[in-house]
Structure 1
Amino acid sequence: MRRFPSRRREPPPVGADSTDEELISAVAAESVTALRLLHRRHAPWLRARLSRRCADEDAVDDALQDTFLAVWRSAGRFTGGNAAGWLWTIALRRLVSALRGRGPRPVPVEERMIESAEDLVLLNVEHGDLGTALNRLSPELRAVIQATVLDGLTVKEASRLLGIPEGTVKTRAMRARARLREELA
């Protein structure tokens, strides 16, 4: 019996210094190591951002797990560009799907028990004067403030997530803080 050569390509070698694009390319070639590195690099900030949008930790865990399963299955369709944005889009869609499958609607933030000072601050940010002031910012400035202040990302992580240079993140954060001071004065 004649055997045809395998179409499966060998995954390129990857390491901690590999770019996100290189890791996704290696995941497309079925590199488990690349998927682990991608997970280690992105799961913490994805969890933080998903948790800001959903109080149900099980739903967040399910969405995060489904995100990396989807990455494993669809890495070959990644066309390049902002890998962090691509991951965030997948994670957000998985969270919506996880919540749809849970039946009753999630408890609104006002009805949740406030378990920590951080929860109280986030509640006031969303529904207080600061939330109103944040909504008045341009989308570019608001995105930087959300990534660096509310989601707790470093400038480097925010740069990667937003697809803009680190210097631009710093400049926009400075401009946003100045506008917020004016709004809240």
Structure 2
Amino acid sequence: MEGLPSDEALLIGVAERDIGAFRTLYERHAGWLGLRLGRRCNDRDLVADAVQDTFVAVWRAPRGFRGDGDIAAWLWGIAIRRLVSRLRKRTDIAAVFDTAGATPAAEDQVLLSVEYGDIGGALARLSPEMRAVIQAVVLDGLTAKEAAQLLHVPISSVKTRLYRAKALLRATLAEEPS
């Protein structure tokens, strides 16, 4: 990305109402946000709306980024909350978290290991329900209440699954050689 403006520079441009900077930021991040949100929800229109809402929020308040992390992570936080907000209003749409079988597909195992390193293998060993809670609460940064709404389960189930999943992850990581 040498020669291309950084995300920080683009966000400064957005704050100054530079539509070109906004377009570049959108083109750089909308695709992966849509793909990643699509792994959480089975409705493409809802995902597209959540991505659109994310960038509307960025245009309205680009100074909402406090500078204490990566802009991509900040965008992800906005996007996942926009998706949860939209899912909250709909009960006919389910969140999607590798529920097809007890063992993730080979592609998912590779993605887990690439995206999360050593912990990817430990995550792959969790049940789909526990993996979904870890993904929502730990990896996506949702509250237990938001995760419960996203997953359409009681908040007590989220808390129980999170507790059990963390215990299993600790045990699995403790037994793996470094």
Question: Could you tell me the TM-score, scaled by structure 2's length?
Answer: 0.55
Which residue of structure 1 aligns with residue 52 of structure 2?
65
Tell me the number of residue pairs that the alignment of Structure 1 and Structure 2 aligns.
118
Which residue of structure 1 aligns with residue 11 of structure 2?
24
Q: How far off is 1:40 after superposition?
A: 0.4
Percent identity of equivalent pairs: 44
| Whole-angstrom distance in 1 between the partners of 2:35 and 2:5 | 23
Q: Unpaired segments of 5 or more residues in structure 2?
A: 124-171
Q: How far off is 1:130 after superposition?
A: 3.9
Superposition map of 1:88-167 within 5 A: 88-102=76-90, 104-107=91-94, 123-124=99-100, 127-130=101-104, 141-142=118-119
Indicate yes or no: 2:33 matched with 1:46.
yes
Q: How far off is 1:99 after superposition?
A: 1.2
* Amino acid in structure 1 at the alignment position of 2:89: G
| Conserved 8 A contact 2:33-2:51 | yes
| Whole-angstrom distance in 2 between the partners of 1:96 and 1:17 | 33
Query: Where does structure 1 differ by over 6 angstroms across 4 or more consecutive aligned residues?
Result: 143-146
Q: Unpaired segments of 5 or more residues in structure 1?
A: 1-15, 111-121, 147-178
The CA RMSD over aligned residues, in Å, is: 3.7
Which residue of structure 1 aligns with residue 165 of structure 2?
none
| Whole-angstrom distance in 2 between the partners of 1:42 and 1:83 | 10
| Whole-angstrom distance in 1 between the partners of 2:95 and 2:65 | 35
Question: Could you tell me the TM-score, scaled by structure 1's length?
Answer: 0.53
Residue 129 and residue 33 in structure 1: after superposition, are their counterparts in 2 closer, same or farther (change >3 A)? Answer: same
